[in-house]
Amino acid sequence: MYKLTEEGKKYLDEGLPEKNLLEILKKGKTTTEELKEKMQNPAVAINWARKQGWIKIKQGEIQVDKEPKEYPQQISLQKISKGEDLTKQKTEELLKRGLIEEIREDIVKQAQKQLEKEKINNLTPELIQTGLWKKANIKKYNIEAVGKKKYPGKKHVLSYYIEKVRKVFLEMGFEEEEGSYVESSFWNFDALYTPQDHPAREMHDTFFLKKPRKTKMKNKELVKRVKKIHEQGNNESKGWGYNWSEEEAQKLVMRTHTTPVTVRKLQEIEPPAKVFSVGRVFRNETLDYSHLPEFTQIEGIVASEKVNFKNLLGYLKEFYSKMGFEEVRFRPGYFPYTEMSVEPEVYVKEKDEWLELGGAGIFRPEVTEPMGIKEPVLAWGLGLERLAMMHLDLKDIRNFYYKNDLSLLREAKINI
Ligand code: PHE
């Protein structure tokens, strides 16, 4: 048996070059130069057409001499493609021209054997190569029948979402930083100018560690500076006006936000600098449809002489827009460590509702000065699960952690 070579296939589809040449010449004579623009392989075409005595060339001009009634080789190509036989002479002609090639005998035999079966369920390489599939009685398929659902392994939706957030900040030129879940009160609160009698520092808001209960602060100078800021303020402010206790600052907590990660980083950076962190935080909170005692925060800072409040809003808008939320608004907010402060909210079209997403502001000098930073520092801490909830149209935030509902993992689609 024989099959078409690549060239043979091409000529079957596009016509033999000599055939194409004659079609062109029927419209009028032409020169070899012009021909180059009108067709592929003009040399091959001229050669073959001449051999058959179909054309003549006079003073560089080509014209029809004797128009053929049919093109035998074109018919041969068609026959081969249909799996029909050719005469010995015709076969040799095409073989010599490189338009067909022999199929290995064992392959032909295999294909023929497969063909003996009453019904063919699968197309095999042998049937395809020999073209014998055209003669096969192939089993019919109902292509509209619903297939069995497959649930291949994939990332948890939250992991996917966290990676997306990281990608967005990396794209915006931020450097990533990590911290630990267990943090000293010093870094979680005091370094953030949160007074020691602040309600957030009480047992019902914060998880304190029993064992070990405390940690020692190594940087005595820094502790002194923070103590002074709390007690007396700086050149422009009066501080909180109480006796700051180092003992209180030593108490270990499960971090209640990721702000200590970026605040620690303030000691290292040399503005301009942009840092972000994505991580788990812990709050002694009652679980309900929109509250989790553990959730993920997206933290970020931009420290530069050149930045201002408008830039802060710009960064937040840009972030949310990259996450697929076009409408963002800002409500005035309050945090002990920022001034001015805002709470960004995004608009959820389907629900015609604004959803609160976290906090942001410019760090107060009472935070940045003890860390040795003089430039303004924009800062934010944003909730992640609530955003993911909206993308997935979930009614209950507990779905992510407590429901263990496999269908969430199987069906979840986040198109960002
Ligand atoms: N830490 C704040 C929170 O957890 C968010 C925040 C971060 C606010 C940075 C201002 C600046 O709600």
- pTM of the predicted protein model: 0.69
Nearest atom in ligand 1 to the alpha carbon of residue 358 is 12
- Domain ranges in the chain with CATH number 3.30.930.10: 157-181+227-233+255-411
Q: In angstroms, what is the span from residue 166 Cα to ligand 1's centroid? A: 18
Fold of the 157-181+227-233+255-411 domain:
BirA Bifunctional Protein; domain 2 (3.30.930)
CB 259 within 8 A of CB 193: no
Query: Which of 265, 316, 335, 340 has the most ligand 1 atoms within 8 A of CB, as the residue to mutate?
Result: 335
Distance 69 CA to ligand 1 centre (A): 86
Which of the listed residues 189, 280, 380 should we mutate to test ligand 1's pocket, taking the one with most ligand atoms within 8 A of CB? Answer: 380
Task: Profile the chain (416 residues) by mean pLDDT over runs of 10 residues.
Answer: 92 93 89 85 90 88 90 93 89 94 92 88 89 86 90 88 96 97 98 95 92 95 97 94 97 98 97 97 88 94 98 96 91 96 88 87 98 97 91 86 83 78
Nearest CA to ligand 1 atom 10: 360
The pLDDT value recorded for residue 370 is: 97
φ, ψ at 15 (rounded to 5°)? 95, 150
Contact residues of ligand 1, CB 6 A cut-off:
257, 259, 335, 338, 358-361, 379-381
* Contact assessment for residue 27 and residue 45, using Cβ atoms and an 8 Å cutoff: no
Distance 337 CA to ligand 1 centre (A): 9
Q: Are 381 and 297 in contact (CB under 8 A)?
A: yes
Atom of ligand 1 nearest to the CA of 341: 10
Q: To the nearest 5 percent, what fractions of the chain are helix, strand and coil?
A: 40, 20, 40
Give residue 359 CA to ligand 1 midpoint distance, Å. 4
First to last CA, the chain: 53
C-alpha 80: how far from chain center: 47
d(CA 45, CA 49): 6
**DSSP letter at 147?**
P
Cα-to-centroid distance, 367 and ligand 1 (Å): 13
Which of 192, 193, 259, 285 should be mutated for ligand 1, with most atoms under 8 A from CB? 259
3-class DSSP string for 166-217: HHHHHHCCCEECCCCCEEEHHHHCHHHCCCCCCHHHCCCCCCECCCCCECCC
Question: Of 300, 306, 308, 296, nearest to 275 (Cα)?
Answer: 300
Gyration radius of the chain's alpha carbons: 39
Residue with tokens 């936000």: 257
Q: Determine the atom of ligand 1 nearest the C-alpha atom of 363.
A: 11
pLDDT recorded at residue 35: 85
Cα(343) to centroid of ligand 1, in Å? 9
